Chains A and B, each alone.
Chain A
């Protein structure tokens, strides 16, 4: 992948096309639980940001980590543009990984409904911590907040997810 990214950065359109094929399912997977009904817009804006910014990427080996950062920020931005955020009541989310699924498939209607009732930033924290297995510090860097904020958001999001799921 690093070789393809290097070629793409140098203006090789065929390499760029292959990078696009490789990275689109991953960008989809990140955007869907965060941007929900706006995920199509989020995917397009995230991919645009990735391709416009690729020249500035210093280390092609770190490509997927960089894509994740760019994508989550874009997904949050797009979701917040249209979101009517409602606070949700408390409870758990150990099941989230299984519930959301790791493939490119649709989110189930129930999971979608539960996620839709969470603030965008809670959804983003869930994706980074539960699906991407990132530690608090890394998730905090991506979201531009303090690690303590990630911790408290994750706690509230897990609680909200468990409670909503049980209703």
Chain B
């Protein structure tokens, strides 16, 4: 018995003491949901506010280095771990994660966000309104998965 991807992300959220975590059942097939979540270059800028571009090298490697570009052109390097149902991204300042597992005809989907340095945690708490923002992210994933060709 091993923990599934969503449980795994929930455990990381507990370890990171973040308020930016949510999970929900989506009434869409897993493949459809994960097609959106795993298309980091194509979809992340639509899902994350203030992200203009997310550059990921092509290929199927599960460990990659990506670059996030903000609205004013500022860049941050990210380490990315991407496998089916699991995505964990980390820069010097932030952590982001998504996980999905099939649940009947639907999908259990989870997202995580966290500020890395302890000094930023009060900002995270003030900014977060955690559950609200993370649910909004999941809504966007659901909408884009529903209309994705």
- A residues neighboring B (CB under 8 Å): 8, 11-14, 16-17, 20, 24-25, 28, 32, 39-40, 43-44, 47-48, 51-52, 54, 104
Contact present for B1 and A16 (CB under 8 Å): no
| Distance, CA A158 to CA B116, complexed state (A) | 49
A44 touches which of B7, B88, B97 (Cβ 8 Å): B7
Which residue of B has the minimal Cβ distance to A40?
A: B1
Chain B residues lying within 8 Å of A12, measured Cβ to Cβ, are 90, 116
Closest 8 pairs (CB-CB, A-B): A51-B15, A13-B95, A51-B14, A11-B116, A52-B14, A48-B14, A16-B15, A13-B90
Chain B residues lying within 8 Å of A104, measured Cβ to Cβ, are 1
- B residues neighboring A (CB under 8 Å): 1-3, 7-8, 10-12, 14-17, 79, 81, 88, 90, 95, 97, 114, 116-118
B118 touches which of A11, A28, A51 (Cβ 8 Å): A11
Most buried by B among A39, A43, A47, A52: A47
Contact present for A51 and B117 (CB under 8 Å): no
Main DSSP-derived SS at the B contact region:
mixed
Given contacts A17-B8, A48-B11, 7 further A-B contacts (CB under 8 A): A11-B116, A11-B118, A13-B97, A13-B114, A17-B88, A28-B2, A39-B1
Chain A residues lying within 8 Å of B88, measured Cβ to Cβ, are 13-14, 17
Which residue of B has the minimal Cβ distance to A27?
A: B3
Contact present for B12 and A43 (CB under 8 Å): no
Chain B residues lying within 8 Å of A8, measured Cβ to Cβ, are 15
Contact present for B90 and A43 (CB under 8 Å): no
Contact present for B1 and A28 (CB under 8 Å): yes
Which residue of B has the minimal Cβ distance to A44?
A: B7
Chain A residues lying within 8 Å of B97, measured Cβ to Cβ, are 13
Tell me whether A11 and B117 are in contact in the complex, defined as CB-CB below 8 angstroms, given that A20-B11, A43-B1, A51-B11 are known contacts.
yes
| Distance, CA A32 to CA B14, complexed state (A) | 23
19 contacts between A and B (CB under 8 A): A8-B15, A13-B12, A13-B88, A13-B97, A14-B81, A14-B88, A17-B88, A20-B3, A20-B8, A24-B3, A28-B2, A40-B1, A47-B3, A47-B11, A48-B11, A52-B15, A52-B17, A54-B15, A104-B1
| Distance, CA A12 to CA B12, complexed state (A) | 10
Which residue of A has the minimal Cβ distance to B121?
A: A11
| Distance, CA A89 to CA B17, complexed state (A) | 46
Chain A residues lying within 8 Å of B114, measured Cβ to Cβ, are 11, 13
| Distance, CA A134 to CA B38, complexed state (A) | 45
Contact present for A14 and B79 (CB under 8 Å): yes
A33 to chain B, nearest CB (A): 13
